[in-house]
Amino acid sequence: MKPILRFKNVWVTYGDKVVLEKVDLSVNEGAFVSIVGPSGAGKSTFLRLVVGQEQPTRGEIQLDGAPLNAEPGRDRGVVFQRYSVFPHLNAFDNVMFGLECSGSRLRGRLTGARRSEARDAVLAMLETVGLKDAARVFPAQLSGGMQQRLAIAQALIMRPRILLLDEPFGALDPGVRKDMHVLINGLWREHGLTILMVTHDIKEAFHLGSRVIAFDKRRHDPHAPHRYGSTATFDITLDHKNRRQVPPELASLASEDGVSPEPSSPRA
Amino acid sequence: MRRLLNVRPKTGERILIGAAPLLAIGLAYVAVSAAWHSQNPSEKILPPIDAMMDQIRIMAFQRDSQTGTFPLWQDTFASLRRLVFGLSIATATTLLLGLTIGILPLIRAGLSPLVATIAVIPPIAVLPILFIAFGLGETAKIVLIVVGVAPAMTRDLASHVASLPEEQLVKAQTLGASTWQIALRVALPQAMPRLLHALRLSLGPAWVFLISAEAIASDVGLGYRIFLVRRYLAMDIILPYVAWTALLAVMLDVALNTVSRRAFPWAHPSAR
């Protein structure tokens, strides 16, 4: 397995506030990495680094062995918790958007034979995520779950090297969330995707992920809590045996969101 | 007993309730006018409806003996022409500035203090400068409308574009869109309904600036006529002209709203 994404001694600081410290990890191609941790532990900052919305203060991030492009780009697809789709485009045009932008630099629109070619790909992708019958519907008329399906389709059609999910199912009802788990798990297996998912829901993290990374502060100064940053304090690759079992070190995260667990065992 | 704030009129009731005050004012006018005229038949301040109708007939359907034109239509055409020119230029300026200020931090840093400064200058105070610079012709009146409404429209559009969710812009970039493509296909379509909304709100101020400019220096136009006949206390012309101006403003407003609903249905979810 070759690493697709690599963090080398990455630090993020704002003034004297340390958010992430000494993050060293690599992600293999085809992995489904769940990222968990209490609120404010830097999991979103971690994802923003990969998306390219933020740059590390120190250290280096590599994608496929080369330094990561410092702004968002086609090699990294993303699905946010909200606002991931364009409200002024219907479902079909939302998925078409990426193809049109890469196909026509000036007008950002495809016509003629290239459009009908793209059209087939878009319809196939809509069918894959179960939105075949909603192609002409605007996002405002889609349910929350359907909007996230659309956001996934929109990202996947560009065949990104890595798919980044920022609490993608956090705003959904439990039943809908279960359907989305089935969908994303199926897509991951069938298309051999590499996925990084930030989630608050530790059961979701263990249910979906092939690897779970927890971010937290390793050290704590009660008089200056901002002086120490978070890092990957827990890192486990799941096989079928330990799958779906939340280990005792992370139990406190499962019971209550935002409560910091005791400093846990170093990375496995 | 339901709370007052939960009592919602049905569509029919709403139209009825809305028409009632207008109707009441009309009826009150007729009654007061009749009472005054029964005491003093030459009274000019509250002319009866039929006197106004006579004047409308003269202004709208009789050629003026000196100019050979129909004054009402000539005034209406001249005023609407100025208004449409001014608002078109203001809208185009707003679209260009508002979009770039909203989407490009560099342009925002450079231009938004300038726009904010221009926006706080009272436009009527600039009117003498415009007359000196552009003469007393059409240009000064059109520029007054542009200067009067464009800065506020620009600020509104820029802040709307700047508040597009960051997630959308990042998503577009991950789909390979360039700055130009994001401006064209993400920001512009979402700015358009807001632009039309800002234009609707600007109709009121635009009319104020138009009538002011026409009142001060003009030889044709609705504002010119109203201020001209004021010298003769000709309320039987002034009142129909004011009503006509109001009707034109309402029609423009309704037209813009209709365009927005037709062209951008996704921006009017309640309309579907």
User: What mean pLDDT do residues B84-101 have?
Assistant: 96
User: What mean pLDDT do residues B76-105 have?
Assistant: 96
Query: What distance in Å separates residue B5's CA from the closest CA in chain A?
Result: 28
User: What mean pLDDT do residues A147-171 have?
Assistant: 93
Q: Do B168 and A71 touch (CB under 8 A)?
A: no
Q: Which residues pair with A8 in a beta bridge?
A: A60
* Residue B174 with chain A: CB contacts under 8 Å: 51, 72-74, 76-78, 155, 158, 160
- Between CA B161 and CA B149 the distance in angstroms is 18
Q: According to the model, what pLDDT value does residue A155 have? A: 94
Q: According to the model, what pLDDT value does residue A41 have? A: 83
pLDDT classification of A256: cutoffs 50, 70, 90 = very low
- Between CA A228 and CA A86 the distance in angstroms is 38
User: What mean pLDDT do residues B11-19 have?
Assistant: 92
Q: According to the model, what pLDDT value does residue A264 have? A: 42
The pTM is what? 0.85
**Domain boundaries, position A246:** 3-75+160-255
User: What mean pLDDT do residues A11-23 have?
Assistant: 88
Contacts 24+ apart (CB under 8 A), B214-223: B214/B79, B214/B82, B214/B141, B216/B127, B216/B131, B217/B131, B217/B136, B217/B140, B218/B136, B218/B141, B220/B74, B220/B75, B220/B78, B221/B75, B221/B78, B221/B79, B221/B82, B222/B75, B222/B76, B222/B79, B223/B79
Per-residue pLDDT tens digits for B170-206 = 999 999 999 999 999 999 999 999 999 999 999 999 9
Q: At what angle do helices B71-103 and B49-61 cross, to 10 degrees?
A: 80
pLDDT classification of A113: cutoffs 50, 70, 90 = confident
- For residue A220, what is the domain's CATH number? 3.40.50.300
* Domain at B73-257, CATH homologous superfamily: MetI-like (1.10.3720.10)
Q: Which residues pair with A212 in a beta bridge?
A: A34, A236
Q: According to the model, what pLDDT value does residue B84 have? A: 96
- Between CA A142 and CA A114 the distance in angstroms is 28
pLDDT classification of B270: cutoffs 50, 70, 90 = low
pLDDT at A265 over 80: no
Domain assignment present for residue A248? The answer is: yes
Q: According to the model, what pLDDT value does residue A223 have? A: 81
Q: Which of B196, B202, B102, B109 is nearest to B150 (CA)?
A: B202
pLDDT at A263 over 60: no
Residue type for position B60:
A
The three-state secondary structure class of B232 is helix
pLDDT above 90 covers a percentage of chain B that reads 83
pLDDT classification of B271: cutoffs 50, 70, 90 = very low
Domain assignment present for residue A120? The answer is: no
CA–CA–CA angle B158, B164, B170 (5° rounding): 125
Per the structure block, which two tokens stand in for B56? 């409308």
User: What mean pLDDT do residues A221-249 have?
Assistant: 75
Q: According to the model, what pLDDT value does residue A245 have? A: 65
pLDDT above 70 covers a percentage of chain A that reads 89
User: What mean pLDDT do residues A243-264 have?
Assistant: 55
A197 touches chain B (CB under 8 A): no
* Residue B173 with chain A: CB contacts under 8 Å: 52, 71-73
Domain boundaries, given as residue ranges, for chain B: 73-257
Per the structure block, which two tokens stand in for B87? 């608002």
What is the tally of helices (H) and strands (E) in chain A? 7, 10
Q: Do A76 and B189 touch (CB under 8 A)?
A: no
Query: What distance in Å separates residue B95's CA from the closest CA in chain A?
Result: 18
pLDDT above 90 covers a percentage of chain A that reads 45
Average pLDDT, chain A: 85
pLDDT at A91 over 90: yes
Q: Do A88 and B180 touch (CB under 8 A)?
A: no
Name the strand (E) or helix (H) holding B179: helix B179-182
Q: Do B165 and A160 touch (CB under 8 A)?
A: no
Q: Do B171 and A80 touch (CB under 8 A)?
A: yes
Q: How many domains does chain A have?
A: 1
pLDDT at B142 over 60: yes
End-to-end CA distance of chain B: 32
User: What mean pLDDT do residues A140-163 have?
Assistant: 93
- Between CA B171 and CA B175 the distance in angstroms is 6
Q: Which residues of B56-74 are buried (b: 16+ CB within 10 A; e: fewer)?
A: beebeeeeeeeeeebbbeb
C-alpha distances out from residue A38 to A4, A110, A262, Å:
26, 45, 11
pLDDT above 70 covers a percentage of chain B that reads 99
- Between CA A84 and CA A187 the distance in angstroms is 19
pLDDT classification of B147: cutoffs 50, 70, 90 = very high
Nearest CB partner across the interface for B189, out of A76, A88, A98? A88
* Residue B181 with chain A: CB contacts under 8 Å: 101, 105, 108
Q: According to the model, what pLDDT value does residue A105 have? A: 83
Q: According to the model, what pLDDT value does residue A266 have? A: 42
